[in-house]
Amino acid sequence: MSRSTRPTDSGTSTCSWGREMARLVEPDAAAARVTLTLDGEAVSAVAGESLAGMMLARGVRVFRRMPDGSGRAPYCGMGTCFDCRIEVARPGEEPLTVRACVTAVEAGMVVSTGLGAKA
């Protein structure tokens, strides 16, 4: 098995050690939706899904860049590797660096990868 995250036909991604990280492919039509901003673009997401799941479902494949220019994205899917770090400002609060895989989508969030639209 490859040590990288790779998509599968089941709508999940297989993490480096073989565990599957579920993501929403087609959310339930009755699910509560919220609006937030992702790299300057207003987007709709399912309330409570992870920021990483929402971003991956939207086609974002690079969440940040290293000083050498290499791209980083979710690796472990459970918050231990910190490769999915992004900046989030909740309404009325200063921006914070968070782990996208363990941070739930909330209405009004302003999410920034620092990379611009759809890296």
Which CATH number fits the domain that encloses residue 86? 3.10.20.740
Its domain, for residue 98, covers 33-112
- Distance between the two ends of the chain, CA-based, in angstroms? 26
Query: Domain for residue 108, yes or no?
Result: yes
Comparing 89 with 3, the larger pLDDT belongs to: 89
Number of domains in the chain: 1
Query: Domain for residue 14, yes or no?
Result: no
CA dist 35 and 43 (Å) reads 6
pLDDT (tens digit, 9 = 90+) per residue, 49-101? Answer: 999 999 998 989 899 888 999 999 898 888 999 999 999 999 999 999 999 99
What are 19's strand-pairing partners? none
pTM of the model: 0.73
